[in-house]
Each structure stands twice: as structure tokens, then as C-alpha cells.
Amino acid sequence: MRYVLDSSVGFKWLVPEKDTAKALQLRNEYRVGIHDLIAPDIFPVEITHALTRAERQGRITTVTGQRLFSDLLNVLPPLFPSLPLLPRAYEISSLMRIGVYDCLYVALAEHESCNMVTADTRLLSNLGPQFPFLVDLTSLP
């Protein structure tokens, strides 16, 4: 199966949270070729932002954050340029009242005709009915 990988799932690869086991299972299945994962080129930027936020919140140390950042760069899925996706992301964002960053992932899934896996429950509840290709991480086998 081919999935657009949301940063909410990718972050769980690095920092233990609820459903991290599911995220790590997806990563392992990607590594052995069971799934193909792709993401927009903002994926590492969003996760790096989340890592520095986790540092500020005291969830991880600066040293740990630097190590996790390095780990991130070693497990990146193929990244797709955001600029060509931006017009559709803007359209979805404007219509659905959802952040453009999230909509770039949705636009990529639409463009590539594949599902998008996310752990963002707000995104799922707001966009799921209109975009049935959004898949909740917890629903994966």
C-alpha cells in the first residue's frame, strides 16, 4: 500500500506518544517494502519544529533532540515539492477552514491517488467525510 505520511505519524517514530507502537510498525513495514511512504517536502521541517517544541516543553533534552533530528534525516520517505501542491492546498484550506500545512499532505494524497495516514484526530474529524482516503493510524492492522 502507498501512503502519504503525515508528520503526526512521523513524529511518533521519534518521540514516544500514544500509538507510537502503530507508527513504528508502519515504519518497519515501510523499511521491508510492505508499504511505500511519501510526504511533501515540509515533512522534515514540521517534525523538526515539533522536536524543538518537545525540548521547550521538557519532554526531551536538547541532546536527545539533536540525536532524534539526526535519526529523522535517516528515515525520510521520498519528499515531493510543496509548491505545485500549494494551489490545491490553498483551495482545501480555504474551503474547509484547516491549516495549509495539513492541506499540503491532503493535496499530495489526492495528486498521487493514494491514502494518507495520520494520527491527527482533529484533521480526521474535519476532513475525513470529504476526503475518504484519510486513514487513521490506529485503524491500520
5-51 pLDDT per residue, tens: 999 999 999 999 999 999 999 999 999 999 999 999 999 999 999 99
Write out the residue range of the structural domain in which residue 80 sits. 2-139
pTM of the predicted structure, to 2 decimals: 0.95
Which residue's C-alpha cell is 500509538?
A: 19
Structurally, how many domains does the chain consist of? Answer: 1
**Nearest by Cα to 111 from 43, 40, 9:** 40
Kindly report the CATH number assigned to the domain that includes residue 126.
Answer: 3.40.50.1010
Write down the pLDDT at residue 46.
97
Indicate the SS3 state at residue 1.
coil
User: Mean pLDDT for the chain?
Assistant: 96
Please report, for residues 17, 44, 64, the alpha-carbon distance to residue 97 in angstroms, rounded to integers and kept in the order given.
27, 24, 35
pLDDT digits (tens, 9 = 90+) for 61-120: 999 999 999 999 999 999 999 999 999 999 999 999 999 999 999 999 999 999 999 999
The per-residue DSSP string of 87-110 comes to: HHHHHHHHHHT--HHHHHHHHHHH
